[in-house]
């Protein structure tokens, strides 16, 4: 493996189409496509300032590196990426890529990150300004994600989320086969039009959660006071601990809650309109 230590590069494609590289204390200044079309690359304590750094690359590992805000769109069309203890300040990272692993990564400007990617495994990650993160992604495993940004995980498929804090309006829209364990999901209009969304021991906040859903499952979940008008037109099997401010027109299945402030079953309910509802052990 060729070693490049304590050097600086800039301009257009300074390390283009290189294979088997070890970079340490290297700075990539302003420019484009610095390591495009490369493979088998390891970077340690490096700083990336230019755009499109790792495009069309295969098998690279970055440890203790910084991608500055100028390094936007640097991880596209690639396969086999691992980031450890990195700070990723640029938006629009990870597009059309696969086999991605992140550990202990901070992303302060994560908008439009992870689009149309397959095979994502992340743990101990913080993402801020993360609007439209994980759009159209599949086969995702998440643990200890702190997410601040709206419209997250829309159109995602085959997702498992554990021990996370998702502060996100319109999260999990039109998803399929998603399971969330032991997490706080806070934001308006959670999980609309989803299929096979399962929430286990989760805390849910924000108005009108979990509407228009098919195959929705809630196991031992709780609702914040602002999580009102829940479950409208959904096919649901739910056990809810504690108090729910209001439930509106669930379409089918069953809902069991300890208490409910307002149960709305009106003429607008959709067929088959046969959801079994029990509040405080009493069938309504």
- The answer to the question of residue 209 being in a domain is no
Per-residue pLDDT at 31 exceeds 90: no
Q: What is the DSSP string of 259-282?
A: EEEEEE--TTPPTT---EEEETTE
> Is 68 part of a structural domain of the chain?
yes
Range 7-45 burial, b when 16+ CB lie within 10 A, else e:
eebeeebbbeebeebbbbebbbbebebbbbbbbbbbbbe
The CATH number for 4's domain is 2.160.20.80
Residue 49 within a domain: yes
23 in a structural domain? yes
Domain that holds residue 17: 1-88
Selection from 264, 276, 279, 201 nearest residue 229 by Cα: 264
Tens of pLDDT, residue by residue over 122-180, are: 999 999 999 999 999 999 999 999 999 999 999 999 999 999 999 999 999 999 999 99
Flag whether pLDDT at 281 surpasses 90.
no
pLDDT tens, position by position, 70-121 = 998 889 999 999 999 999 999 999 999 999 999 999 999 999 999 999 999 9
- Does 153 reside within a domain? no
* 97 is a domain residue: no
Q: What is the pLDDT of residue 39?
A: 95
Task: Please report whether residue 208 resides in a domain.
Answer: no
Q: Is 96 exposed, middle or buried (0-12, 13-18, 19+ CB in 10 A)?
A: middle
Work out the percent of the chain whose per-residue pLDDT is above 90.
88
Are the beta carbons of 26 and 9 closer than 8 angstroms? yes
- CA-to-CA dists, residue 85 to 24, 227, 250, angstroms: 15, 36, 45
Structure-token pair, residue 12 = 């257009």
Count: domains in the chain: 1
Distance, CA of 148 to CA of 111 (rounded, Å): 10
């Amino acid at each position: 493996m060729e070693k490049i230590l304590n050097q600086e590069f800039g301009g257009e494609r300074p390390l283009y189409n290189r294979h088997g590289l070890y970079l340490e204390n290297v700075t990539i200044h302003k420019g484009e496509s610095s390591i495009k079309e490369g493979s088998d690359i390891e970077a340690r304590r490096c700083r990336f300032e230019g755009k499109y750094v790792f495009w069309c690359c295969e098998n690279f590992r970055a440890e203790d590196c910084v991608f500055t805000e100028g390094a936007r769109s640097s991880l596209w069309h690639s396969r086999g990426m691992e980031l450890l203890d990195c700070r990723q300040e640029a938006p629009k990272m990870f597009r059309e890529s696969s086999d991605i692993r992140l550990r202990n990564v901070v992303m302060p400007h994560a908008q439009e990150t992870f689009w149309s990617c397959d095979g994502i495994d992340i743990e101990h990650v913080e993402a801020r300004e993360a609007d439209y993160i994980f759009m159209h992604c599949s086969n995702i495993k998440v643990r200890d994600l702190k997410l601040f940004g709206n419209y997250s995980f829309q159109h995602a498929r085959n997702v498992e989320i554990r021990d996370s804090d998702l502060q996100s309006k319109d999260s999990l829209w039109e998803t399929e086969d998603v399971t969330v364990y032991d997490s706080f999901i806070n934001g308006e209009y959670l999980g609309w039009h989803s299929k096979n969304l399962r929430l286990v021991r989760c805390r849910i906040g924000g108005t009108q959660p979990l509407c228009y859903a098919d195959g929705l499952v809630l196991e031992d979940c709780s609702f914040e006071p602002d999580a009102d008008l829940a479950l409208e037109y959904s096919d649901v099997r739910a056990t809810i601990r504690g108090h729910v401010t209001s439930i509106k027109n669930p379409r089918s299945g069953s809902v069991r809650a300890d208490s409910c402030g307002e149960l709305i079953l009106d003429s607008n309910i959709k067929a088959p309109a046969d959801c079994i509802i029990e509040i405080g052990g009493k069938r309504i």
